[in-house]
Amino acid sequence: MSALSPRSWGVLFVLCGAIFLEGIDVAMLNVALPSIRADLGMSTGELQWVMSAYVLGYGGFMLLGGRAADLFGRRRMFVLWLTVFLLFSGLGGLATEGWMLIVARFVTGVSAAFMTPAGLSIITTSFEEGPQRNRALFIYSGTAAGGFSIGLVVGGLLTSVGWRWVFFAPVALSFLILVTALVLVPKSPRPERTGQGVDLLGGATVTAAVVLLVLGVERAAHTGVGWTLGTLGAGLVSLAAFVAVERRSSSPLVRLGLFRSGSLVRANLIGLLFAAGFFGFQFLVVLYLRELRGWSTLRTSFAMIVIGIDAVLSPTLTPKLVNRFGNARVIFGGLLLAALSYALFLPVGADWTYPAMFPSLIVLGLAFALAYGPLTIVATDGVKEEEQGLAGGLLYTSFQFGAALGLSAVTAVNVAATGSDAPAALLDGYHAALVVPLAAALLAALVGAFGLRSRAGGSRAVASGATAECAEVSVAP
């Protein structure tokens, strides 16, 4: 395998910077949520929408963003929507009402929905499929993990000064990445359109499906059964309409033939369930530490930074395991570890010491390291170059849809099970809601088990060479 050229390293540096930005942005906000609620007077349900508005915009428009990268040019879409991300991140820091912050987060999520699949598809089309591409993807996934872990600490530090700095800091980082991208990412000719256009109707129906399904879950604890079932039903109808539109469209947003690949379908289902458990669990832990235990934002950040071990393990340990056992087995192991992590936290008490929490958090970091990178490889492996943006969009849609559902589900269960503001009642709510991430991880492991029957030799061969290459490179999170 040929070594990466300096220009290739430069391109990878820019794209890793963008995924680092996305990770640090979400992590910093996660830590700042209690302070935002106190300042803007938001309820728990409204607070959840600060996160969910982002993931709804992200997940709802991701498929459209991935397809736009394929049709209009990956660099063009990456630069344009990075600029939008920069602007609305700054506007979020200026919000004086909860609804203003929610709107800003939604638009920021939409911009990330166009920017992220464009960046991923630049990697999958710029690096040769096989060890070279896998090496780039493992570094990419490790950087994403590093963004999240570093964001926890940086978010705590910034929130201790003022929560608005959690929104202003990404503006400076976005500007740096934007300038570097304009210099290092090479221009590419605009793809031939051949009569194809953007499937706006498909994008509208899939976005409506995501919004309605998540809304139905989130409001389940606040409304009657009829309203909840009606909203969920409308979401399913929108999803069916999306499938019907795609079947009849001459240039579908999603070519349904992609779903004939069993490995691609499994990767997306696992990604959805894994994200649901991961983000739901993070949300609950932050609420537990901040609201029940009364920990400061900075103390909470340092408590959770151990999860960031995935930033080190993703580009170092994971390639070796994939080379030896194959992607499917490594993913399955990561899912089992995620279930173990959530199970270890189930008996959490009102006065747990940090050593009692530590096993759950460190195991979760290892689980993320084993699952995330291999899922990215499986979801994009073997896909045609002209559909790499779409494949990346599908995977990130699954991640963000899962995150939205996970946040909504744990919030609904938590609110329903919490009878008052008394510590015992709060703890009862956390205990009930913690079952949701555990169930999601177990279901993901069940889906992943079907992939174990497939021949793993191809997965190992694809990863060969990546181990040796990764051993030569030390990647800082």
Mean residue pLDDT of the chain comes to 83
Other CB atoms within 10 A of residue 67 CB: 26
State how far the Cα of 36 lies from the Cα of 97, in Å rounded to an integer: 10
Residue found by looking up tokens 């680092």 in the block: 20
State how far the Cα of 437 lies from the Cα of 44, in Å rounded to an integer: 19
What would the pLDDT profile of 227-259 be if each residue is shown by its tens digit?
Answer: 889 999 999 999 999 999 988 887 787 778 778
Q: How far is CA 224 from the centre of its chain?
A: 31
- Choice among 13-22, 148-157, 171-180, 406-415 with the minimum mean pLDDT: 148-157
State how far the Cα of 156 lies from the Cα of 218, in Å rounded to an integer: 27
Average pLDDT over residues 350-373: 93
Among candidate residues 132, 466, 139, the one with its CA nearest the CA of residue 310? 139
Sign of the CA dihedral with 153 first, then 158, 407, and 237 last: negative
Binned at pLDDT 50, 70 and 90, residue 222 comes out as low
State how far the Cα of 341 lies from the Cα of 335, in Å rounded to an integer: 10
Tokens of 190: 């605009």
Q: What is the model's pLDDT at position 197?
A: 59
Name the percent of the chain lying above pLDDT 90.
29
208-237 per-residue burial string, b: 16 or more CB within 10 A, e: under 16? bbbbbbbbbbbbbbeeeeeebeebbebbee
Q: What is the model's pLDDT at position 220?
A: 67
State how far the Cα of 169 lies from the Cα of 28, in Å rounded to an integer: 10
> Which residue segments constitute the domains of the chain, with CATH numbers given?
1-185 (1.20.1250.20), 255-453 (1.20.1250.20)
H/E segment holding residue 104: helix 98-126
Average pLDDT over residues 301-312: 84
pLDDT beyond 80 at 152: no
